[in-house]
Structure 1
Amino acid sequence: MAIDLTDSFEVIDERFRKLAFGNVHLERLYTGCRWAEGPAWFAAGRYLVWSDIPNDRMLRWDETDGSVSVFRQPAMNSNGHTVDREGRLVSCEHRGRCVSRTEHDGTRTVLAERFEGKRFNSPNDVVVKSDGSIWFSDPSYGIDSDYEGDAAPSELGACCVYRIAPDLRGVTRVADDFVQPNGLAFSPDERLLYIVDTGATHRDDGPRHIRRFRVKEDGASLAGGEVFAECGNGLFDGLRSDVHGNIWTSAGDGVHCYAADGTLIGKVLVPEAVANVCFGGPKRNRLFICGTTSLYSVYLNTRGAGRGMR
């Protein structure tokens, strides 16, 4: 017998029913942002950190009591975040034009701010691979205006994807054929890297899709890059993979779920355009959703890949 799902879900392919629960609704946990982005789950503390970019602050939601507080302000117009293998916050800073790390004692360390002597545009989203390397996108959004950063010309003249070596001693460019590279996510086995291109924000005929790359045997470079999925509502932005290889990606009407074969199988419907998502909670089966002005969550019948960091 087919499961009747609540109006928080839209089933497009029957495979999606196995990923949702019949009695679960989307929950709004907080509202009051201008552009919510970059959620990152801290398992040890049972809390979530996310960005409110135009308000130049980072917020903290506590799972133990549902409270929200300011984690950091000013916050260098930080955008995407992740948690590294040692439980430290890794952040993409628009205004700092760098990738930084918050140490366990609260101090800030700049991990990368230049490539070949030139400043980055405005690092946007970031993932940490199991070998400790850090992969991030560098579109121009943070230097396009003063709303989410500081308006400035691009020193690099291109928007690309980069990798910071595990020992932090080198930065390499791993993909350079993007208009505006955005969200990133590894597959569960880290053999694939999915990268969003939101180039439609800057070109009428620009891309609004996810591309899929193969991670080469060296673990440090990419091959391929075919289009995995085209966005049918708004733009893709941030995305995550679950343990089954499904891709959960933000879109204009909520979160779209794609099977590993590229089929759109279902949606989590959200009343605001979604910017980014991450898995969290003790079992990594709670999807946290940054939707424009608000933070939402929904429980799913799947778990985030890795340790909830991607």
Structure 2
Amino acid sequence: MAALRRERVEELLGDGARVASIADLGSSHAWTLHRVSLDGGGELFVKAAPDQAGVFAAEAAGLRWLAAGGGAEPPVPEVVAADEHMLVLPWLPTAAPTARAAERFGRELAAMHAASPPAAYGASWEGFIADLPLDNTLVEGAWPGWYAERRLAPFLRRGASDLGPDGVRLVERVIEGIDALAGPPEPPARVHGDLWSGNVLWTDGRAMVIDPAAHGGHRETDLAMLALFGAPHLDRVVAAYDEAAALADGWRERVPLHQLHPLLVHVALFGAGYRSRTVEAARAALASAG
């Protein structure tokens, strides 16, 4: 793991910032993770890599965009600094998730989705999920076609060899039938886009979202992603969300449809070990049409 030079951090922070110490926290995908303590107090979280211009730029843009439109108290950390080699966020101390914090998170997530709704699906910056590119082409039409063309089809192509002919055909059937599977029309919402439980940081009395693949999308996508690998107090999160911004009838049956994209991403990243879950999600999505 490459050492993070304190001089580079100080240069990026500017304003006479001085680094007291750096603790290396390991790595994720192509980048290293660090906890930085500053002279005079204060701590920061730093992601670093030799060349992650697009990835770090997309993450910084997404966090700023979610915060800018996310209601009175968006659950999004400030971007302290970013360039093509580093992303700097505040250090957020972790705490055990509680039912009260989960309810607050549900309300804040609903507010983030609803505040200053975007005019189109997609985003104005190049997208990434992990270190894989996402097609964020802005589309003012209906969500189902955008989701099928910009999220499902590209990752079906990437994972076709691991899914096999039968798996590919199931996902193709979802794409072909997307209009009947998508439920009632929804306007674009400011969604996190990669809201699995590992991207929800529980801190003192609330939850904050990190590592977004943010875009104008369907709000059910974020809730489905929370359920994919299990989030603490998910029932409280969803109940508080639904109370703040009622979900459309049938949203539970559409969870597999919204989970299909992240599962295809996992096939692309990690191979055939995710084939069975992806196939199950495709079958469940098709079954939801009755």
Q: Same fold (TM over 0.5)?
A: no
**Which is richer in strand?**
1
Q: TM-score if structure 1 supplies the norm length?
A: 0.26
Name which one, 1 or 2, has greater alpha-carbon Rg.
2
Q: TM-score if structure 2 supplies the norm length?
A: 0.27
